A and B are shown apart, each in its own frame.
Chain A
Amino acid sequence: NAGVTQTPKFQVLKTGQSMTLQCAQDMNHEYMSWYRQDPGMGLRLIHYSVGAGITDQGEVPNGYNVSRSTTEDFPLRLLSAAPSQTSVYFCASSGVDGGRWETQYFGPGTRLLVL
């Protein structure tokens, strides 16, 4: 059981470039989400999904796209990177128990630097 995996671990982009951050989980969790972590601000929710084919916006969705074609994968796309997107990105997942969402488990993070 690998849990939640993220690739790449570190990426440098130039302003305007696009890229996809990958996230996968092997726990058959319905819920997956993306957070960004910036100094002094904790983690903030970008987008989330409650199942394949269902996505919704979190607190800071601008500049990011997501899709959920399978239960296992939840990629995060930056269409035109900006320096303000320099951050550490975390993917998380959780299952459901008795109609309520369980504790979320996090991936190892991706550090993104936009020049």
Chain B
Amino acid sequence: AQTVTQSQPEMSVQEAETVTLSCTYDTSENNYYLFWYKQPPSRQMILVIRQEAYKQQNATENRFSVNFQKAAKSFSLKISDSQLGDTAMYFCAFMKWSGNKLVFGAGTILRVKS
């Protein structure tokens, strides 16, 4: 069975600075997807970024980028130029290549301070 571990329960960052959220996972699969979801106080789950394991290039979406280390089974999220609206719970999630079930980590609360 796959597991996803987020070792940082809470983090804080100053507005305009950069922060990195950590995620490690365990799987015997060779191909799979990894995701970062954002959950603001509204509780809505919002997809931030997605990475296919077969791609060596790290995914980027505007101020959000990942550092995907397949051998180390690590998938960290970097947020650049942090904004107050980035304050949220962030979840790392795994899905098999041919599957449809998401396995989530416990989440990291990020607080952006002005």
What residues make up the interface of A, taking CB atoms closer than 8 Å to B?
31, 33, 35, 40-45, 48, 50, 58, 88, 90, 92, 94, 100-101, 103-106, 108-109, 111
Q: Is B100's CB under 8 angstroms from A48's CB? A: yes
**Residue among B42, B43, B99, B104 making CB contact with A42, cutoff 8 Å:** B104
* Separation of A40 and B107 alpha carbons in the complex (Å): 7
Known A40-B106, A43-B104, A88-B43: A100·B98 in contact at CB below 8 Å: yes
Expressed in whole angstroms, the minimum distance between the Cβ of A30 and any Cβ of chain B is: 9
Q: Is A106's CB under 8 angstroms from B44's CB? A: yes
Expressed in whole angstroms, the minimum distance between the Cβ of A88 and any Cβ of chain B is: 7
The answer to whether the Cβ of B16 comes within 8 Å of any Cβ in the partner chain is no
* Separation of A51 and B91 alpha carbons in the complex (Å): 27
Known A42-B91, A103-B35, A103-B50: A109·B44 in contact at CB below 8 Å: yes
Known A88-B43, A106-B45, A109-B44: A58·B101 in contact at CB below 8 Å: yes
Known A105-B47, A108-B44, A109-B43: A41·B102 in contact at CB below 8 Å: no
Interface residues of B in 5-38 (CB under 8 A from A): 9, 35, 37
Query: From B106, which residue of chain A is reached at the shortest CB distance?
Result: A42
- Hey, which chain B residues are within 8 Å of A108, CB to CB? 42-44
- Hey, which chain A residues are within 8 Å of B47, CB to CB? 103, 105
Q: Is A100's CB under 8 angstroms from B97's CB? A: yes
Which of A42, A44, A105 has its CB near the most chain B CB atoms (within 10 A)?
Answer: A42
